[in-house]
Structure 1
């Protein structure tokens, strides 16, 4: 049961995802994909997000996974399956965010053939499709702006667009968050049967 949440920067995607998670389960696993390194501004953002989750009434366990996201989801899914067989409700999993994960993988594969990055994205999509418990995926909508002036930026924009499209096909619900307002895209989506 995967749900995709997309939108622009600072649109309210993460807040919506966290609120949605609290309605799906009594506790959650928050998978953070950022790679903080020496970026002071990013470190401040991460600290702020961690403090907000700690102060929330909803119980979060935070896992840092900037690289091996598919493997981590497979592991959590297996543990959740086992707990469910034992009569325990599985936690909701929230991944924030897929475009940061994609950035991490793109930088590793920058000099590699494009097929290597595409294979990692496909592997992630397969793991998400196989995940049988509540799973919220936050991603950025990056294709609505100007065309990046440099090749790596264009590669990222195109890869993110393909990844988001593949995930939208597999997810039960897809939300676009604009100015803090979530819109359920699959509920209002056009279908060819309407013609």
Structure 2
């Protein structure tokens, strides 16, 4: 089960995601990049553990490792929270100037997210452009928006946070058709 929480910076995504996760799962793993807050937010219960996965580890590898070590019979009782996908992707973009390598890493990450067995809650940012973005910013924003669209297409639930208010996008009945 894939759940996506999106919104702007400081909109309340993490607080909402942790509260929501506590309502639907008895235990969880909070994967943090560690770059958005110096401290990990208060976790819902002792059955939740935090992993600082932003220091040199790649999210793709971490997700595959958790998936391999998971007991599929108990996977529905646990949720993995990724906070935030945008920060991981930005770190990948900073690590390499090779656009083909960036595209390949993005696809591997998306494949890992979509193949995860169990409940997965992904926190991501809505991409807003500036008046005069650099070429790098434009490419990153386009790639991030593309990943967000793929997550939306595969998510059972998707929430948009605006000033702490969550809007259930899948429940609104709005659909974009190609």
TM over 0.5: yes
Based on CA coordinates, which of the two structures has the bigger radius of gyration? 1
Residue in 1 that maps onto 2:165: 181
Alpha-carbon distance, 1:88 to partner: 7.6
User: Would you say the 8 A contact 1:33–1:97 is kept in 2?
Assistant: yes
Q: TM-score, normalised by structure 1?
A: 0.80
What is the distance in 1 between the residues matched to 2:75 and 2:139? 43
Matched residue count = 175
Residues 91-170 of structure 1: matches in 2 within 5 Å?
Answer: 91-109=78-96, 111-112=97-98, 114-143=99-128, 145-170=129-154
Structure having the larger proportion of residues in helix: 1
Q: TM-score, normalised by structure 2?
A: 0.87
RMSD: 2.2
Within the alignment, does 1:75 sit opposite 2:62 as a pair? no
What is the distance in 2 between the residues matched to 1:166 and 1:7? 16
What is the distance in 2 between the residues matched to 1:182 and 1:14? 11
What is the distance in 2 between the residues matched to 1:3 and 1:88? 15
User: Would you say the 8 A contact 1:24–1:134 is kept in 2?
Assistant: no
Residue in 2 that maps onto 1:32: 32
Taking structure 1 as reference, are residues 27 and 154 closer, same or farther at Cα in structure 2, changes over 3 Å only? same
Q: Which sections of structure 2, spanning at least 5 residues, go unmatched? A: none
Taking structure 1 as reference, are residues 88 and 105 closer, same or farther at Cα in structure 2, changes over 3 Å only? closer
Q: Which sections of structure 1, spanning at least 5 residues, go unmatched? A: 37-41
